[in-house]
Amino acid sequence: MANEKVPNKEKVEKPAPAAKAKGEKPAQAAKGKGEKPAPDAKGKKAGGGQEKGVPARLFERYQKEAVPALMKKFQFKSRMQVPRLEKIAINIGVGMATQDPKLLDAAVHELESITGQKVAITKSKKAISNFKLRENLPIGCRVTLRRAKMYEFLDRFISVALPRVRDFRGVSDTSFDGHGNYTIGIKEQIIFPEIDVDKVTRVSGMDITFVTTAKNDVEAYDLLKELGMPFIKRQEIVQPDAQNK
């Protein structure tokens, strides 16, 4: 009889703690699952200087190759002195939009497709009677890219879009503004793979300005070149100090 009571007690005792264990574990697991996503989500948002989210061959190239090369060439003592790309401004002018608003709608859609960012409408600042233009009329659109989207756009622009330009041999190095900024004009928006050629009603161009923290055009040129900008041939760019001598 003693032998029979022991297994009975075991059978009675085991289910009870087992049931509690089962009841406790799911609760802990649920808490664990609930806790993990929060730091991950915060981490992604915080990482959102978004340099971490850069797809970023180009951002890594800047850190690992461009920075050391520029420090050596210009004898910078700190990485903080090295010029960097600050933003990319893209502008499309649609003068005929005053007569046909659909042209502006198409330009807005195309620029948003190319950049993946909402664009702003540009308006005329003054009236020009010869062009039948009144003040404050919509005449184009623009967008400014920074951080991750900036590097992503530059990567696609250099490696995909520019090679699709007819008879492409490189970009000119004479379009610096004297303050370390570089502007390039694109004649056809269809060089961007995001544009469906079959749906294009009007071929239009755009101006793309690369704004850097460089002190002069020499530093800006070398920065863009290190990032892969395919300049045709280096023209003589005189340092500001040399111009005064």
- Above 90 in pLDDT, residue 87? yes
Residue 139 three-state SS: strand
The answer to whether the CB of 184 falls within 8 A of the CB of 171 is yes
- Above 90 in pLDDT, residue 99? no
The answer to whether the CB of 223 falls within 8 A of the CB of 212 is yes
The rounded percent of the chain whose pLDDT value lies above 70 is 66
pLDDT band, very low/low/confident/very high, at 10 (cuts 50, 70, 90) = very low
pTM confidence score:
0.71
pLDDT band, very low/low/confident/very high, at 209 (cuts 50, 70, 90) = very high
- Above 90 in pLDDT, residue 16? no
Q: Higher model confidence: residue 211 or residue 140?
A: 211
Q: What is the pLDDT of residue 41?
A: 39
Q: What is the mean predicted confidence (pLDDT) over 74-92?
A: 96
Domain ranges in the chain are: 2-35, 57-237
Which strands form 120-123's sheet, in the order they lie side by side?
Answer: 120-123, 138-145, 85-93, 206-212, 181-186
Return the structure tokens found at 226.
């290190």
Q: What is the mean predicted confidence (pLDDT) over 199-227?
A: 94
Residue 132 three-state SS: coil
CATH T-level fold of 57-237: 50s Ribosomal Protein L5; Chain: A, (3.30.1440)
Q: What is the mean predicted confidence (pLDDT) over 147-156?
A: 93
Q: What is the mean predicted confidence (pLDDT) over 207-234?
A: 94
Q: At what angle do helices 217-226 and 67-74 cross, to 10 degrees?
A: 150
